[in-house]
Structure 1
Amino acid sequence: MGWNLLKGNSLWARFMSAKYLDNLFSHQGRMGSVFSPCWKEILSALPFALLHSRLLIGEGNGSFWYKNWMGRGILAGAAVSPIPHHLQAAQVKDFNPISGSWSLSDIQNIISPSALHHISATYVGISNRQDKFIWDLSLKGTFSLKSSWNNITQHSLKEAWSKWLWNRYLPPKLVVFGWKTVHAAVPVDATIQFCGIPLASQCEWCCSHSACPPVETSSSHLTRGQSRTSMLLPQHNNVETLDHLLSTGRSATAVWDYFSDHFDIPVIHNLPPPSASPPPLKPEIVRWFKPPDQWLKLNIDGSSRGNPGESGGGGVCWDHLGRFIFAFHKHYEFSSNTSAEARAMLDGLNICAEMSLQNIILKTDSEVIADDLKVLGSSNLWNIWYILGKIRDLFCRLNVVIHHTYREGNVVADALARLASNGSPDKIFLLRSRLPRCSLRYMIGAAASFFVGAS
């Protein structure tokens, strides 16, 4: 309900905002004894809903102060002085015109310097797309109770056997016994001894068929450095341990032998040992190929020192004869690897548009971005949603197709991106001889083969 209230696109949300919220933007509601417990619970959940709801900027009509468009919470919380009345209803596009550059002179004394730094480092391109409200805990951006529950609860590591044990077709009594077995919690003699209770241990079924004296064990074993695991291992043929009960004892062996004969199940103690080494990887040749006739190939890469950290991007373009067209590298300040890769794509395609280049094969070593851009009309990479939107527009204008490549086939762009992430000034190269030395040495071997592991 808090999520629906923040979206504000339903009749209920508009009614509740008008009746109970003091300010249309601030989401600071009235709290008193006359209000219902349901409304009080909604207000208590609003901070969590605000933190994980995000406005993806298109037209930029969302509130600059009271919408979480940066993914770091609302900016009103970072204000160090009261927000002037004439700026209360400011929209994102008021501080970020279509040119994409921020104009923050009017708010420098209102919010903290760290918040100003994060705003400047956030790339927002105003476009004709509608703003989109998403739930950042969900891959699809839609709210679900499951995603919220998974975020506020602590989960243990998933075990391979859990899906077989916690099965609705098994009786609950059998499931609980299986869980106890996995966690060594079946109350056999060895488990009781581990708890510090002196006990003479013997398997009653085995000893009823052959004379055998009980084996005296006590909690004093623990003082000699004996772990719980060793306590549960068989110390004598007839000591009642978990392993004896389920695997090596007379009754357990008889059960396994019976079912192995009737259902062709291999007996546990006759299973072959596991392979000592994994199967060898099949080598795959990775090399740079010329694009088809009348096509260009644009190799792109992004680099981030720290991920996130100081980052940069670079790229190089060739024609179908293998001739150099252009190259570039650009510094992006603080961002992640994925963000740097997407911004490098956008910059490379913008250069192609300025040079009136068409029919482009875009190569990137980011499989995540390549797979996302191949799906028309949708994106799960919400942090770079606005960048991917501009890239999709250029795909249509320039007739671009995108393919994934290994880093070994993208070495020139990788060298340029790493150079930019180290702080080199932005440059565009139209002559091959002007390229930095670090990338020239890869240009010579651009057609060389590399071997990488592939499963």
Structure 2
Amino acid sequence: MQVPLKEITVVPIPEDEVHKPVAAYISEIGQWRVDLLQQWLPSYAMDKVTAIATDIISAEEDRLCWQPTSTGDFTAKSAYQIAFPAPQPTYQKVWKAVWNLQVPERVRHFIWLVLLHRINTNKRRFDRHIAPDPFCPNCNNVPETKLHILRDCPTSLFFWTREVPANSLVDFLSADLDHWVSTNILNTEARVPWASSFSIALWTIWKNRNEGAFSGGNKLLSPPSLRHAIHLKVHIWHSAWMAPSPLLLRGSFKSNRVVTDIGWVAPPRGWCKLNVDGASQGNPGKAAAGGVFRDDQRRWLGGFCYSIGDCSAACAELWAIKQGLEMAWRRDLRLLIVESDSRLAIDLIQHRVDHVHPLASLLRSIRRLVAQDWLVNIVHTYREGNRVADWLSKHGLVYPHGMYELVDPPAPLRPILQDDERGVVLPRSVVQTPQTHL
């Protein structure tokens, strides 16, 4: 939460409640006293509180952690980003579109810098006291802002007015920078994709600007020459992108990825397998966890759905492992293989994290469970081998907060269970591990 809980209560809190410690709202078995908290807090605050793992065993002292980083450690970079936040595009999906552009990597990187407002125009350099004036090196008439050099400068405008349809030109030339770049990056058309052509044009305009600025104008292309250069680059790069690689045609290129069949595999004789998964709508957002127990004969032994509250996907994955381990211990399942499709969650468990890490309390609880008198092996599996747990975690999103143990599988889940019983596999492209020869 960004503010103290007492400032967002739905009703006034009695004075004696205000000064109670957190421990007063945690039960003897380490669970939040939801019945007490929900009389004071709004539902959105409850969702955030219940996703926090409590720790009544380790006796760790409270410590300050730095919220803007994922590890809880202070960094100068995160402090700078808070002090000087970069404007963000309206649609977050534009970031994915940038990295999917069919252009060279240097062009993608340039578009990323444009969206972050980090290209060093004269206006930006002047504001930072590293340039004598803010004016455009091409036209010397107006301050060189990002939008000016990329679109409104006469050299750039010559190109755009001849490429953009007349019925779209007014909107094209009137948008602000973020909207202008985002809209064009997300625009897809037949033949040569416009998003790629637009990106190549921006990069070429900026490259031409730099060559002119740092050569005293000797290398600056005229508007017609610049337009020709952009057309040539679009044609060459698009042709190269669409053409099959000569290396692949000659068979001399060996990919380190192979397509393999992935499915759920029964545990060894006498063992039980627990498959777990977490789901988060928004990451962070409303989250749930799910798990399923099966024996070496592929039989359903039980399952669970756990409605967590509001947390990240990594937190949901760890909650799934914790709840599954607790349920396994209660059921006396002492030979246990735990499978998760989250490499991040497994790495966090296997490698020590600092005590200020936001998930430290949850990780300590998991490690204590693993250290009990039983055999537990936590391993990674692919999603194709974890479909039952994936279904249960998403199903848990519909429940109110709490743990729901399932004696029998829900009817809609039975077809997936039957697939696992029959040994059904699904194809997946995976990285091939190099073989070591002795």
Higher relative contact order (CA 8 A, sep 6+): 2
- The residue type paired with residue 413 of structure 2 is S
Report deviation, 1:248. Answer: 7.3
For residue 289 of structure 1, give the secondary structure of its aligned residue in structure 2.
coil
Equivalent positions of 1:281-430 (< 5 A) are 282-305=258-281, 311-319=287-295, 321-324=296-299, 326-332=301-307, 334-336=309-311, 337-378=313-354, 382=358, 384-397=359-372, 398-423=374-399, 426-429=404-407
Contact 1:332 1:340 in 2 (8 A): no
Contact 1:311 1:340 in 2 (8 A): yes
| Equivalent residue, structure 1, for 2:435 | none
Contact 2:37 2:46 in 1 (8 A): no
Distance, in Å, in 2 between the alignment partners of 1:188 and 1:119 is 54
Flag the 1:245–1:190 CA change in 2: closer, same or farther, 3 A.
farther
5+ unaligned residues in a row in structure 1: which ranges?
1-70, 164-172, 202-216, 235-239, 253-267
| Structure 1 length-normalised TM | 0.55
Distance, in Å, in 2 between the alignment partners of 1:189 and 1:326 is 76
Distance, in Å, in 2 between the alignment partners of 1:185 and 1:451 is 55
Distance, in Å, in 2 between the alignment partners of 1:247 and 1:187 is 8
Distance, in Å, in 2 between the alignment partners of 1:112 and 1:315 is 30
Report deviation, 1:161. Answer: 6.1
- The residue type paired with residue 298 of structure 1 is L
- The residue type paired with residue 341 of structure 1 is E
Contact 1:97 1:126 in 2 (8 A): no
For residue 69 of structure 2, give the secondary structure of its aligned residue in structure 1.
coil
| Equivalent residue, structure 2, for 1:43 | none
- The residue type paired with residue 387 of structure 1 is L
Report deviation, 1:410. Answer: 0.6
Distance, in Å, in 2 between the alignment partners of 1:101 and 1:151 is 34
Report deviation, 1:299. Answer: 0.6
Distance, in Å, in 2 between the alignment partners of 1:128 and 1:301 is 26
Contact 1:415 1:438 in 2 (8 A): no
Number of equivalences:
321
Flag the 1:87–1:313 CA change in 2: closer, same or farther, 3 A.
closer
Report deviation, 1:350. Answer: 1.0
- The residue type paired with residue 94 of structure 1 is A
Report deviation, 1:311. Answer: 4.2
Distance, in Å, in 2 between the alignment partners of 1:90 and 1:401 is 40
Distance, in Å, in 2 between the alignment partners of 1:106 and 1:296 is 38
1:98 aligns with 2:28: yes
Contact 1:315 1:416 in 2 (8 A): yes
1:154 aligns with 2:154: no
Give per-residue Cα distances to partners, 1:12-35, cap 9 Å, x unaligned. Answer: xxxxxxxxxxxxxxxxxxxxxxxx
| Equivalent residue, structure 2, for 1:57 | none
Contact 1:191 1:231 in 2 (8 A): no
Given candidates 233, 242, 248, the residue that maps to 1:276 is 242
Flag the 1:423–1:162 CA change in 2: closer, same or farther, 3 A.
closer
Distance, in Å, in 1 between the alignment partners of 2:34 and 2:357 is 27
- The residue type paired with residue 276 of structure 1 is M
- The residue type paired with residue 50 of structure 2 is A
- The residue type paired with residue 187 of structure 1 is N
Given candidates 187, 190, 197, the residue that maps to 2:138 is 187
- The residue type paired with residue 152 of structure 1 is A
1:73 aligns with 2:3: yes
Contact 1:191 1:241 in 2 (8 A): no
Distance, in Å, in 2 between the alignment partners of 1:420 and 1:112 is 23
For residue 160 of structure 1, give the secondary structure of its aligned residue in structure 2.
helix
Given candidates 411, 417, 420, the residue that maps to 1:443 is 417
Distance, in Å, in 2 between the alignment partners of 1:75 and 1:233 is 52
RMSD of aligned Cα (Å): 5.3
Contact 1:314 1:327 in 2 (8 A): no
Given candidates 126, 136, 141, the residue that maps to 2:67 is 136
| Structure 2 length-normalised TM | 0.56
For residue 155 of structure 1, give the secondary structure of its aligned residue in structure 2.
coil
Distance, in Å, in 1 between the alignment partners of 2:243 and 2:273 is 40
Give per-residue Cα distances to partners, 1:247-290, cap 9 Å, x unaligned. Answer: 879xx9xxxxxxxxxxxxxxx99988532279897423222223
Flag the 1:271–1:441 CA change in 2: closer, same or farther, 3 A.
closer
Flag the 1:379–1:442 CA change in 2: closer, same or farther, 3 A.
farther
Contact 1:297 1:318 in 2 (8 A): yes
- The residue type paired with residue 74 of structure 2 is F
- The residue type paired with residue 128 of structure 1 is I
5+ unaligned residues in a row in structure 2: which ranges?
89-105, 113-121, 174-197, 206-210, 226-232, 246-254, 432-438
Farther off after superposition, 340-349 or 112-121: 112-121
Report deviation, 1:411. Answer: 0.9
Flag the 1:284–1:147 CA change in 2: closer, same or farther, 3 A.
same
Report deviation, 1:423. Answer: 3.1
Equivalent positions of 1:16-165 (< 5 A) are 71-78=1-8, 81=12, 84=15, 86-87=16-17, 89-103=19-33, 111=40, 113-114=42-43, 117-118=46-47, 121-129=50-58, 130=60, 131-155=62-86, 160=109
Distance, in Å, in 2 between the alignment partners of 1:231 and 1:162 is 8
Percent sequence identity is 20
Give per-residue Cα distances to partners, 1:344-398, cap 9 Å, x unaligned. Answer: 222211121112222422111223212211213547861x433322111112124
Flag the 1:311–1:136 CA change in 2: closer, same or farther, 3 A.
closer
